[in-house]
């Protein structure tokens, strides 16, 4: 985000205009997947982070995450873009799963790593920034995801809550992509939540040679992995967007899951 210079004489007027806004959220519409309908897209307006302007009240889920010691990633780096896909219908279930979650929370150490990855990205490509698709995920949402895939070949992509779920359920994993400063997301070769081979990271050269991903998608994935792994995350072979901050074994042994 470009820094804006505000003359002192205009600051009271500027803050008054902010206070008179209908809502502290920006809203728009996005096409839905699998439903043929429309869904509201919600993003926190960066201008609310100006000193003296209160952020929207947090939901019960957001307060619970904060009480567990998790932090809002945009408090670590407000230039991160957050677009929680499970707060929309643009996910493989075709329904809104995050009914009262609009902020991306992570363990403090993970939020700092993400901040470091974003800083590194800006050094390499000042015209890009990281967009967060998903971060800490309540276990009851994990159960909904599991119920959708159990008994199908896709079950391998979703952690079973009965066995501790996945690292998202502990605030130790994050799903991300790259976007331009205008918010336009880059070509990554597949959609988020894609269960097909084009989402895999372990044989991208083969996918490229077969024409299943483009050269630009190949480069974009490599750049995303570079900045994330240099900052302490590890990638998964089946999902280009997913990055873990520690092992599942360590999470189960040392962390408490989000209800």
Can you say how many angstroms the Cα of residue 222 is from the centroid of all Cα atoms in its chain?
18
pLDDT at 56: 63
pLDDT in tens, 156-180: 999 999 999 999 999 999 999 999 9
Cβ atoms of residues 245 and 172 within 8 Å: yes
E-assigned strands of 135-224? Answer: 173-180
CA 112, distance to chain mean position in Å, is 15
Say how far apart CA 137 and CA 171 lie, in whole Å. Answer: 7
Query: How far apart, in whole angstroms, are the C-alpha atoms of residue 168 and residue 77?
Result: 20
Average pLDDT over residues 245-256: 96
pLDDT of residue 11: 35
Question: What's the pLDDT at 98?
Answer: 98
Q: Is the pLDDT of residue 74 over 50?
A: yes
User: What is the Cα 67 distance to its own chain's centre?
Assistant: 20
Classified as helix, coil or strand, 111 is: helix
Q: Does residue 29 register a pLDDT over 60? A: no
Asked if the 56-84+103-254 domain carries CATH number 3.30.1380.10, the reply is yes
- Mean pLDDT throughout 231-247? 97
179, two tokens: 């976007």
> Which tokens sit at 70?
């998790």
pLDDT of 174 reads 98
What is the mean predicted confidence (pLDDT) over 123-147?
Answer: 98
Number of H helices, E strands in the chain: 8, 9
pLDDT attached to residue 79: 96
Q: Regarding predicted confidence, which is higher, 97 or 10?
A: 97
Please write the tens of the pLDDT for every residue from 41-66.
Answer: 344 444 334 344 445 689 999 999 99
Among 9-13, 111-115, 156-160, the range scoring the smallest mean pLDDT is 9-13
- What tokens does 88 get? 């929309």
Helix, strand or coil, per DSSP, at residue 223: helix
Structural domain boundaries in the chain: 56-84+103-254
- What mean pLDDT do residues 15-39 have? 32
Answer with the residue of higher pLDDT: 20 or 213: 213
d(CA 104, CA 137): 9
């Amino acid at each position: 985000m470009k820094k804006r210079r505000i003359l002192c004489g205009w600051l009271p007027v500027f803050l008054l205009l902010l206070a008179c806004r209908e809502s502290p959220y920006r809203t728009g519409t996005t096409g839905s997947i699998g439903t043929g309908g429309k869904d509201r897209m919600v993003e926190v307006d960066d201008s609310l982070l100006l000193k003296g302007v209160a952020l929207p009240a947090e939901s019960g889920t957001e307060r619970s995450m904060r009480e567990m010691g998790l932090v809002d990633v945009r408090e670590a780096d407000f230039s991160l873009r957050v677009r929680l896909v499970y707060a929309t219908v643009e996910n493989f279930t075709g329904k809104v799963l995050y009914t009262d979650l609009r902020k991306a929370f992570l363990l403090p150490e993970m939020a700092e790593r993400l901040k470091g990855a974003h800083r590194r990205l800006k050094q390499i490509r000042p015209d890009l920034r990281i967009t967060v698709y998903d971060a800490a995920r309540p276990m009851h949402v994990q159960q909904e995801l599991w119920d959708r895939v159990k008994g199908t070949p896709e079950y391998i992509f979703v952690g079973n809550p009965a066995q501790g779920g996945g690292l998202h359920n502990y605030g130790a994993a994050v799903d991300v992509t790259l976007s331009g400063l205008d918010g336009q997301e880059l070509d990554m070769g597949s959609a988020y939540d894609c269960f097909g081979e084009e989402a895999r990271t372990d044989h991208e050269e083969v996918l490229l040679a077969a024409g299943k991903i483009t050269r630009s998608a190949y480069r974009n994935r490599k750049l995303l992995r570079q900045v994330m792994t240099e900052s302490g995350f590890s990638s998964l072979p089946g999902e280009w967007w997913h990055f873990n901050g520690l092992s599942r074994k360590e999470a189960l042994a040392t962390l408490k899951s989000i209800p």
